[in-house]
A and B are shown apart, each in its own frame.
Chain A
Amino acid sequence: MPINYYIFLSLALFCIGIIGVLTRRNAIIIFMCVELMLNAANLLLVAFSKMHHLALGVNFPTLASEAQVFVFFIMVVAAAEVSVGLAIIVMLYRNTHSVDVNFLNRLKN
């Protein structure tokens, strides 16, 4: 399958993520959109790695799949982020009884 499909798919996912972050005010949804962007990047990494493997795998079998390891790194970061982020959202909800990010501007001053 041509690489173009993967690129377009992940670009679409990424753009959906960005638009979601920009337009929505619900913290949970913003959070999900961020996850969406991260996974768009993951998808692209895996796709490129696979393509790379097809081109070089004959001569360098170990080298070609190493790029997929980065996906795990991103997953770990995302998991850590989720734990911190959700904790913040919970605290936000407890204080304001809302998950609207616009209330966060009270941090000012």
Chain B
Amino acid sequence: MNNILQIVWLIPFLPLVGFLINGLGRKSLSKSVSGIIGCATILGSFILSIWVFIQVKNGNTFVAHYYDFVNTAALKIGFDFQIDQLSSLFLLIITGVGFLIHLYSTSYMHEEDNKDFAKYFAFLNLFVFSMLLLVMGGNYIIMFIGWEGVGLCSYLLIGYWFKNNEYNDAAKKAFIMNRIGDLGFLLAVFWLMSKTGTADYHEVFANVSKLTLTDITGITLLMFVGATGKSAQIPLYTWLPDAMAGPTPVSALIHAATMVTAGIYMIARSNVLFTMAPLTQSVIAVIGLATAILAATIALKQNDIKKVLAYSTVSQLGYMFLGLGVGAYTGAVFHVMTHAFFKALLFLGAGSVIHAMGGEQDMRNMGGLKKYMSVTHITFLLGCLAIAGMPPFSGFFSKDEILAAAYANSPVLWGIGVLGALMTAFYMFRLYAMTFHGKFRGTHEQEHHLHESPVAITIPLIVLAILAVIGGFVGIPEIFMHGGHKLEVFLEPIFAPSNAIAAKHHLEHATEYILMGVSVGGALIALLYAFSKFSKYEKTTAEESGLGKIFANKWYIDELYNTIIVKPLQSFAGFLNSLVEKKGIDGFVNGVGKAINYGSRQIRFLQSGQVGNYVLLMVVGILIMFIIQFLSK
């Protein structure tokens, strides 16, 4: 195949080059050089991605085969990149938002040491590289390489300030929880390969009829286990809120552009399999919804600005899974896109606030920041409106699409989903009001230090704010404008097989208007209530009580996991260490050494120096040899 698009290998290659240069030369590169390398490589990838996107839009989808990754008689896995509607869209999100985050980081991380700065950009580039590999891979194996890569990079970046032990624990937590999910994904891929003999997307989806329902259900459930790890769903979600231990732009990168969208991408990519497994779909919808609600309730009571955002990410991811579960694949991908815009915006905005506050993250010590930081304030407000689902901001369109699909599936799902959406509006405006309105509650010194952030921080905010506002217009629902849902048309080839299998529900226009009205109206009330309540927030020392206490303590899920999993595991490990390792294995090894030592000391007496003894021993030895010779005949 001699296609000019073969050159797509450059897209992941550029960040890899950036990683190598920054990683190897971190001791000699100056901050500006490593920042430029970090940003320029991603910018290059972004420009290429735009070009690829235009090609794909013109109908030029293809699979680029570079070499045989595994080549045996029974199994052939190529190092392939698949460029189609879905992957090109993800490429744009990853490189576009990724670039803005890189740009932002050049300013945000400027107080770091030279070599830490370069290390940071090296990891960031590696992160983007892994994620690009994940979405571009033409089969599950290449996807898995990227899948593991983002897991590793999240560990490296969350534990970036590795001198702080709590941060290290958070990094380990993220890594281990991801590993649990990865196991599920790996098993799913093995199962798939054993039944179909290939891991290639095209061939798997073409041979899907060979699989029995049990196979498909098992495979998809295992894949979903993988997705719960990577995309932070119940029961493996607790790592994501802790992941904010890393620098704020890293949180933005993990939460918006990369990593957590991997699970959504994987399910959207395998949509044919999932559509054929109704049981799995129900499981996904229920888990997604449960996560959305659980995380939203926790977010209501958090006081750390990044924690609120982290739980809101978990909650929004729950919505995406709800969308996947009810068969609204386009809606889920749409929400990934809009969420990437507004969540990156919110995190970067929060980073800007934290920067101005000199590292303070507790909202109780903020307040009234709008007069100091006008750009951050306005962009943050736009982001809050978008995530709260206010029309015509982007979040409204994508969330509405998912909720409408949920209603078509079951009104109960919709009802709970709307409840979550109201909570979203509430906690986001609680956050907004506590941060930007009212009086300043921090120390005098902090107040003196307040300032708007530099340009490298505000430009990404402005760009992301524009995207968060207009990003929804690619998916205007049918009832407003015929043919307005450009994204659905664009992604149609990907989801066509699923749409052919599953009957599409169509709602009455009146119903759809009512649904929209209820969710928007409800969210508006929640938003105004939160704003009026928290814009005059005063610091209190009163303890939370009742349900609020449970929310503030995150439903005690972390404590629960600690008690039933971590503690027993640790005591088991302690037992293995003290008894099996120290006494058993060490005892055996040291025993061998001691025995040889003792034996040699005894044998040493044979060397007496008496020539007669030597000769006698020699003769006896020869005699024994003779006797053996005779007996063996």
State the A residues within 8 Å of B (CB): 18, 21-22, 25, 101-102, 104-108
Q: In the complex, what residues of B have CB within 8 A of residue A25's CB?
A: 612
**CB of B616 closer than 8 Å to a CB of A:** yes
Closest 8 CB pairs of A and B: A105-B609, A108-B609, A101-B611, A21-B615, A105-B610, A104-B611, A22-B616, A22-B615
**In the complex the two chains form, is B609's CB within 8 Å of A104's CB?**
yes
Q: Smallest CB-CB separation from B622: which chain A residue?
A: A18
Docked CA distance A90–B555 (Å): 98
Q: Report the bound CA distance from A91 to B199 in whole Å.
A: 85
Q: Which chain B residues border A105 with CB–CB below 8 Å?
A: 608-611
Instruction: Tell me the total A-B contact number using a CB cutoff of 8 A.
Output: 23
Closest beta carbon of chain A to B260's beta carbon, Å: 75
The 23 sampled A-B contact pairs (Cβ below 8 Å) are: A18-B619, A21-B615, A22-B612, A22-B615, A22-B616, A22-B619, A25-B612, A101-B611, A101-B612, A102-B610, A102-B611, A102-B612, A104-B609, A104-B611, A105-B608, A105-B609, A105-B610, A105-B611, A106-B609, A107-B609, A108-B607, A108-B608, A108-B609
Residues of A within 8 A of B615 (CB): 21-22
Across the interface, which residues of A come within 8 angstroms of B619, CB to CB? Answer: 18, 22
Q: Once bound together, how far apart are the Cα atoms of A105 and B619, in whole Å?
A: 20
Task: Write out the residue numbers on chain A whose beta carbons fall within 8 Å of the beta carbon of B610.
Answer: 102, 105
Q: How far is the CA of A20 from the CA of B297 in the complex (A)?
A: 102
A102–B608 Cα gap in the complex (Å)?
Answer: 11
- How far is B608's CA from A18's CA once the two chains are assembled, in angstroms? 21
CB distance from B248 to the nearest CB of A (A): 74
Could you say which residues of chain B place their CB within 8 Å of the CB of A106?
A: 609
A58–B608 Cα distance when bound, in Å, is 56
Task: Kindly provide the distance from the CB of A27 to the nearest chain B CB, expressed in whole angstroms.
Answer: 9
Query: What 0/1 readout, one digit per residue, does chain B (599-621) give for beta carbons within 8 Å of chain A?
Result: 00000000111111001100100
| Interface of chain A, main secondary structure | helix
Q: How far is the CB of A100 from chain B (nearest CB, A)?
A: 10
Assembly CA distance A100 to B609 (angstroms): 13
Could you mark each residue 576-615 of chain B with 1 if its beta carbon is under 8 Å from any beta carbon of chain A, else 0?
0000000000000000000000000000000111111001
A39–B615 Cα distance when bound, in Å, is 19
Smallest beta-carbon distance B620→chain A, Å: 10
Which A residue sits closest to B615, measured CB to CB?
A21
Question: Which residues on B sit within 8 Å (CB–CB) of A108?
Answer: 607-609
- Chain B residues in 8 Å Cβ range of A104: 609, 611
Shortest distance from the beta carbon of A85 to any chain B beta carbon, whole Å: 13
Nearest A residue to B613 via CB reads A105
Q: How far is the CA of A104 from the CA of B609 in the complex (A)?
A: 7
Which chain B residue shows the least CB distance to A101? Answer: B611
CA distance A108 to B615 in the complex (A): 17
Residues from chain B with a CB closer than 8 A to the CB of A18 are 619
Q: How far is the CB of B619 from chain A (nearest CB, A)?
A: 6
A sample of 9 more A-B contacts (CB under 8 A), given A22-B616, A105-B608, A105-B610, is A21-B615, A22-B612, A22-B615, A101-B611, A102-B612, A104-B611, A105-B609, A107-B609, A108-B608
Q: In the bound complex, what is the Cα–Cα distance between A22 and B608 (angstroms)?
A: 16
Most A CB within 10 A of own CB, among B608, B609, B611, B615? B611
Q: How far is the CA of A106 from the CA of B610 in the complex (A)?
A: 9
Give A101 to B608 CA distance when docked, in angstroms: 13
Taken together as a complex, chains A and B put the C-alpha atoms of A79 and B614 apart, in Å, by 24
Could you tell me the distance in whole angstroms from the C-beta of A94 to the nearest C-beta in chain B? Answer: 19
Question: B54-76 interface mask toward A, CB cutoff 8 Å, 1 = contact, 0 = none?
Answer: 00000000000000000000000
State A21–B619 Cα separation when bound (angstroms): 10
Shortest CB-to-CB span from A44 to chain B, Å, is: 16
In the assembled complex, the Cα of A22 lies from the Cα of B618 at a distance in Å of 10
Return chain A residues, CB-CB under 8 Å to B611. Answer: 101-102, 104-105
Contacts of A21 in B (CB 8 A): 615
